[in-house]
Chains A and B, each alone.
Chain A
Amino acid sequence: DQQVKQNSPSLSVQEGRISILNCDYTNSMFDYFLWYKKYPAEGPTFLISISSIKDKNEDGRFTVFLNKSAKHLSLHIVPSQPGDSAVYFCAASEENSGGYQKVTFGTGTKLQVIP
């Protein structure tokens, strides 16, 4: 039962163009969504997040969009740079009143930005 799905294992984009990474989820109790970036031989690095009360969050070249009715979120990278080449993990969490946050990860999308 995969609650967070990234259906595209890989994506190639030309430098300077937009990269769009997609993620779908099934659990309506998720209230916080995150994107992590992972280079080879390193741990995941937090990139950007969005609360379920918003539909967009922007940080520089990175924008995350959330469509709750469709249970879909996406990460837009504009413009894409070769250094953005990495595996991107979508993650979703639900938190109880005690502060316990359980995060469920997708399987990742490998982005290659071609110079």
Chain B
Amino acid sequence: DAMVIQNPRYQVTQFGKPVTLSCSQTLNHNVMYWYQQKSSQAPKLLFHYYDKDFNNEADTPDNFQSRRPNTSFCFLDIRSPGLGDAAMYLCATRSSLTGNQPQHFGDGTRLSIL
């Protein structure tokens, strides 16, 4: 089945220690998104890639970076995680080639900061 896969499902890191979350897709979608979701809150868009073009949301902290080496993979790098960065991180993909289409989500990575 075509899908969006996030690894790892659970990640624990120390305060200030860099961490990388990964997302891969077999849908061949040209757009990939990263969201942060905290408990009882709406998913918050951090940034997205439209093909190779990177688009950062205005309020995404500089601490958050992303890489997309090819169509299938996208990474979220948190350079110096703080306690406030503990959250669920969701990756989503979408094809922009056929009009309005829903985003397809992975199961998320839950990040804990010690």
Residue B18 at the A interface, CB < 8 A? Answer: no
- Interface SS majority for chain A: strand
The answer to whether residues A102 and B45 also contact, given A43-B90, A44-B90, A51-B100 and a CB cut-off of 8 A, is yes
A46 partner, pick from B50, B102, B107, beta carbons under 8 A: B102
Residue B96 at the A interface, CB < 8 A? Answer: yes
The answer to whether residues A103 and B42 also contact, given A32-B100, A43-B90, A46-B102 and a CB cut-off of 8 A, is no
In angstroms, how far is the closest chain B Cβ from the Cβ of A32?
4
A: interface residue count bin? 20 to 34
- Interface SS majority for chain B: loop
Residue B55 at the A interface, CB < 8 A? Answer: yes
In angstroms, how far is the closest chain B Cβ from the Cβ of A7?
13
Count of residues in B whose CB is under 8 Å from the partner chain: 24
Residue A82 at the B interface, CB < 8 A? Answer: no
Contact indicator per residue, chain A 1-13, by CB within 8 Å of chain B (1) or not (0): 0101000010000
Residue A101 at the B interface, CB < 8 A? Answer: yes
Question: Which residues of B from 6 to 54 have beta carbons under 8 Å from A?
Answer: 6, 31, 40-43, 45, 50
In angstroms, how far is the closest chain B Cβ from the Cβ of A70?
21
Q: Identify the stretch in A14-22, A61-69, A72-80, A104-112 within 8 Å (CB) of chain B at 4 or more residues.
A: A104-112
6 contacts between A and B (CB under 8 A): A34-B102, A43-B108, A46-B102, A99-B50, A100-B96, A101-B103
